[in-house]
Structure 1
Amino acid sequence: MRRVCLTLPTNRPCPETIRAVAEEAAYGARVFGVEVHLLILDSSDAPVLAGHRAAVGTLPPAPGVVVHHLDEVEQRTFLREVIARSGVAAPDRVLDLMLPSGVSYGACTNRAFLLAEALGCSSVHRRDSDSRYQSGPDGGEPVFPIHHELTALGRKASDVAGLVSRSRLDPACAGRPVALVGGSFVGEMSVDVAEIRRLDPAVYEDVIGLTVPDDVPEIWRRHLIDESFRGAGTSPFTGDRTTLTSVSPLRVDMCNIAFTREVYGRVPLPPATDTIGSDYFLIHVVHDAQLPGVLHNRHIVNFHTAERRSDAGFLAYQRRLAKFFLSTLYFHAVYARMAAAGAELLDTEGRIRASDVAGFVRDSARLDRVENAERLDVVDRSYRKLGGRYTGAADALAAERERLLDEARDDMEEFALLIDAWGPLTRATKSVKGITW
């Protein structure tokens, strides 16, 4: 029986989301006859973790669904065994990259990838704790993205062409399997910058413009700034629309995505800590390598938690946002080289050449930091114009200026190291027995 992994990483209270994702798992197993491993990777503190365990304990049994709820102690135990069996150099450093002490959007998903490998799954389907599902027209049943994911993932694109609403795929790619299926989100912006736009649209344009590559023409630059982090807008779901295509990273979100193991089994996500957007890397890999994907409109509803609005939460978020701005220097360089390589990123068997990707990442870490210093200058000037708590954020970022510049560069070096180690790590999962959590 085909096994798939539906994963929910979390570090915040989300019992309602756990119940909703469990319903999606049951739907996938019932409709598609697959075995769905619902994998909840929990980094919450003890009281929240206890609440999640209680929520998991009350989930109704569902045929074909196996639930795994792992806290960080259990995750670390698994990782230690995999790392030891892999024989990789610097095992302690690799463990820190897989389970860092700080928040890492990529690392939590990398752990899901390895656990999915150990469980014998053919795909990973990721959701987020700060999101929920839309309902069908007239308030019907929830519309689960896993429907389109299980319909297309891993099948030859030419076989999927008759199952979608339309095809915009290059015919040269029709013989390749569908590597990614994804949708976007509706509701609040994926990155919490709406307040900046309300306070000063000109400052918003300056700040968000830091995410746009320098070689983008001005007319497109303004369009990208306007569209950034807005997902699919606010229009509700009214009916399915699916497109077989080379999926643009701008059209999907990591709360609503699924990859085949032929993708995540070759290349991990960047393990950077405190860096928003660091988990989108594989979407770029799939797109630039010209692997087929399916874009759908079962968009997930995004919302922001109250913690982000607190003083401490606000400052922590601004640090993550600043590191995202700094990371773009390196990621844009990598994306440009991957795009130039195109299908040459694939070997003769159609698999991603992980060593090429690692080389691009490693080379990017040698870029001059002058441009990133200028990025921090823009953030500093912009935040001081906004005033209020943004002045406090500017002060906090200024006090960490050199550290932030160093971290952004070091993150790329560590990512290259993890890509090098990824093959041995994924192979080692095959010898880890007795996953019963």
Structure 2
Amino acid sequence: MRRICLTLPTNRPCPQAITALGAEAAYAAEHFDVAVHLLILDSCDPAGYARNAAAVRALPALPRTVVHHLDERRQRAFLQRLIGAAGTAKPELMLELMLPGRLSYGACTNRAFLAAAALGCESVHRRDSDSRYQTVDGRPVLPVHHELRSLGRRAADAAAGVTETALPAEHLDRRVAMVGASFVGELSVDIGDIHRRDAGVYHDVVSLWAPPHWSEEDKRALVAESFKGAGNEPFTEDHALLTLVDPMRVDMCNISFHGVHERVPLPPATDTIGSDYFLIHLVHDAGLPGVLHNRHIVNYYTGERRTDAGFTAYQTRFAKFLLSMLHLNHVYDGMSRHGAALLDRDGEVDAGAVAGLVRDSTRLDDAENVWRLDRLDTSYRKLGGRYAVFAAHLAEHRDRLLDEARRDMEDFALLTEEWGRLVRAARVTPLDAPSGPAPGGPA
């Protein structure tokens, strides 16, 4: 029986999301020959953690399901044990990259990858705490249904379990490395207010994540589909496509990986939206099969973003995302050119090839990012109000932001070079004792 890890990284109280995830775990164990490890990596303050813990305790005991609810103290202890066992270079830096003091979308998912390896899980299925499942006739539309039908199977065999296949024949002997869908509801990036205020400024800002040499037509096409997911079309019936999945068609709130996450980590960049999307691009560019389905998750915004402090924090993460694209666009272009050369003779991703591209990107000139910051400054000042205040904030921290964009990629290169050791160590490092339901009863 294979083990899977259904994971929810969170830094906020989310008892409803935990309850819903428990139902998805129950569905997986009931309908598939799997043992489910439900992993909640919790970075809340003590009050928030207590609310989440109460939701964990309220989950029913289920066969072949174990719940692990780890606060940052227990996560740190696990990481210290495995980093010590791995004998990696710069162990203190490794711990900081895995559990930084600032928010990191990539780092929280990397911790889930290593915890899954410690639990003996062959796949990781990630959800988000600021999303919920669609429902039909009162029943949740659960993505794990499609994930477990295809993930990890030889593509030629997985073809029998999907609606449609659009995969070149030369890829059919490879295993399905990713199954995912997108979201419906609010934009994945909270910049709709910019569009409502000034559509021209919205175009100028969003187009900054494209390479500057792109044509205006290509930039307009990118802006038109960016951050919108699957729109607002509700689920009516299943459709699953076996293909090389377009990275623009899936979202990290609704994703699962097999194999690839043990070869290459996600960028551990702090305070940077989109830092957790790297593997989606890698799977596509390396020619690894994936399944794109339509059990989209509902995205919504939390109230914290509407406060002044939340606004500044969120817009900073968005600005850092735009600055990261100087380096990531270079890496994505290189991965696209390498194609199947990113794979070793066993058909697995060659981490050294990826790390080399990331290292090369750290040598790029900052001029492009200086230009991005200039464009952001102009756009935000044009909007006025708190956007103009934020423009002043960006100007004050310009040098730091430029330095961080480069250093984030240097850290990513190092982590990628060490990732194999960390995964091997994780496989023999016990995770802290679980809390919550264990197989057949409470833990």
Same fold (TM over 0.5): yes
SS of equivalent to 1:267: coil
Q: Deviations over 1:274-310 (max 9, x none)?
A: 0000100000110000000000000000000000111
Q: Which residue of 2 aligns with 1:58?
A: 58
Q: Which 4+ stretches in 1 moved above 4 angstroms? A: none
Question: 2:400 maps to what in 1?
Answer: 403
Counterpart Cα distance in 2 of 1:395 and 1:128:
32
Partner of residue 221 from structure 1, selected from 215, 219, 222: 219
Which amino acid is 2:256 matched to?
A: A
Alignment partner of 1:383 out of 334, 358, 380: 380
- TM-score normalised by structure 1 residue count: 0.98
Q: SS of 1:278's equivalent?
A: coil
Asked if the contact 2:78/2:431 (under 8 Å) is kept, the reply is no
> Which shows bigger deviation, 421-430 or 99-108?
421-430
Distance (whole Å) between structure 1 residues aligned to residue 130 and residue 350 of structure 2: 34
Letter in 1 for 2:237: G
Letter in 1 for 2:261: Y
Answer yes or no: is 1:327 the counterpart of 2:324: yes
> Counterpart of 1:362?
359
Looking at structure 2, the residues matched to 434 and 114 of structure 1 have their Cα atoms a distance apart, in angstroms, of: 10
Equivalent in the alignment of 2:240: 242
Distance in 2 of aligned mates of 1:430 and 1:70:
18
Distance 2:220 2:238 in 1: 30
In structure 2, what is the equivalent of residue 312 of structure 1?
A: 309
The residue aligned with 1:264 is 261
Partner of 1:192: 190
* Counterpart Cα distance in 2 of 1:130 and 1:207: 24
Q: Indicate if the aligned counterparts of 2:119 and 2:431 stay in contact, CA closer than 8 A.
A: no
8 Å Cα contact 2:119/2:430 also seen in 1: no
CA distance in 2, matches of 1:373, 1:220: 22
**CA offsets, 1:6-54, max 9 Å, x none?**
0000001110000001100110010002101000000001110111111
Choose 213-222 or 45-54, whichever is displaced more. Answer: 213-222
In structure 2, distance between residues paired with 1:291 and 1:350: 9
Distance 1:434-1:273 versus aligned 2 partners, 3 A rule: closer
Matched, 1:171 2:166: no
How far apart, in 2, do the equivalents of 1:135 and 1:170 lie?
Answer: 34
- Give the letter aligned to residue 164 of structure 1: V
- For residues 215 and 260 of structure 2, the distance between their equivalents in structure 1, rounded to whole angstroms, comes to 32
Deviation at 1:221, TM superposition (A): 2.0
CA RMSD of aligned residues (A): 0.8
Q: Distance in 2 between matches of 1:112 and 1:52?
A: 18
Per-residue deviation, residues 378-416 of structure 1 (Å, max 9, x unmatched):
110000000011011111111100000000000000000
1:232 to 230, 233, 240: 230
Unaligned runs of 5+ in 1: none
CA-to-aligned-CA distance 1:300-347 (integer Å, 9 cap, x gap)? 000000001110000000110110000001000000000000001001
After superposing the two structures, state which structure 1 stretch, 162-171 or 399-408, moved more.
Answer: 162-171
1:36-185 equivalent positions in 2, closer than 5 A = 36-136=36-136, 139-185=137-183
Q: Which amino acid aligns with 1:108?
A: C
CA distance in 1, matches of 2:39, 2:353: 31
Name stretches of at least 5 consecutive residues in structure 2 with no aligned partner. Answer: 435-443
Q: Taking every aligned residue pair, what percent have the same amino acid on both sides? A: 60
Q: Give the Cα separation in 1 of the matches to 2:248 and 2:197.
A: 25
Aligned partners of 2:257 and 2:293: how far apart in 1? 14
Whether the 8 Å contact between 1:33 and 1:64 is mirrored in structure 2 is no
CA distance in 2, matches of 1:241, 1:342: 27
Is this contact kept in 2: 1:183–1:297, CA < 8 A? yes
AA matched with 1:194: G
| 1:156-194 deviation per Cα after TM superposition (whole angstroms, max 9, x unaligned) | 111111221111111110110100000000000000010
Aligned to 1:209: 207
Aligned residue identity for 2:313: A
SS state at 2:277 partner? helix
Q: How far apart in 1 are the matches of 2:430 and 2:307?
A: 43
Alignment pair present for 1:392 and 2:389: yes
Structure 1 CA distance for aligned equivalents of residues 341 and 423 of structure 2 = 23
Output the TM-score relative to the length of structure 2: 0.97
Aligned-residue offset at 1:434 = 6.0
Residue 351 (structure 1) aligned with residue 328 (structure 2): no
CA deviation digits over 1:112-135, x for unaligned, max 9?
A: 000000100010000000000001
- 1:188 maps to a residue whose letter is E
CA contact (8 A) 1:165 1:242 kept: yes
Contact 2:305 2:311 in 1 (8 A): yes
Q: Does 1:374 align with 2:376?
A: no
